[in-house]
Structure 1
Amino acid sequence: MPVITLRLSESLLSIFRDAGAKKEETCRITVEKGTTVRTVLAAQAINPLLVPMAGFSKPDTREQQRIDLDTPLTCDGTLTLYGPLAGG
């Protein structure tokens, strides 16, 4: 079963702080092999509309790949959730 380090971006943490919800910047979770990112969001009570982008990196590399919310998680790694960004 993959062990995932779940990391929330500052923009996502800001949304939770403004809403009065307590979320840690990082936590470790264990998921069934093949669990999708969307399922992880549901288990963590995070609305997928708040996560327009996610990235995944394996433990043996610092290179992060952008992944879709319907991507199955099959190995250990770091899943970074990015909240919406505004700007010009």
Structure 2
Amino acid sequence: MAKNVTMEESIYQLLKDVDRNYFTSNRQLNKNSMLYQTIEEVQDKGWFNKLELQTVKNYPLATATLKTAELTEAGVKHLAELKDKLDTNKE
């Protein structure tokens, strides 16, 4: 069954994915998608380097530069904070 995720959970997942170099290419996104909204939310937080959204004119689409994205020191710190708060698979 599908589960709605909060923005905080989505940010945590994006931080984790960028940290482990999950993205092997850039992504074309629908502007209504959770990933688009998450990237838009975090763009000015200082948690990422080389993470950008480029909108496609006359279409509800954008390209997200995810392949080259990296976490900043602040991003690594925020990832650790969210892990303590949200990760249910703690060892």
TM-score by length of 2: 0.28
Q: Which structure: larger Rg?
A: 2
Structure showing the higher helix proportion among its residues:
2
Structure showing the higher strand proportion among its residues:
1
Greater RCO structure (CA 8 Å; 6+ sep): 1
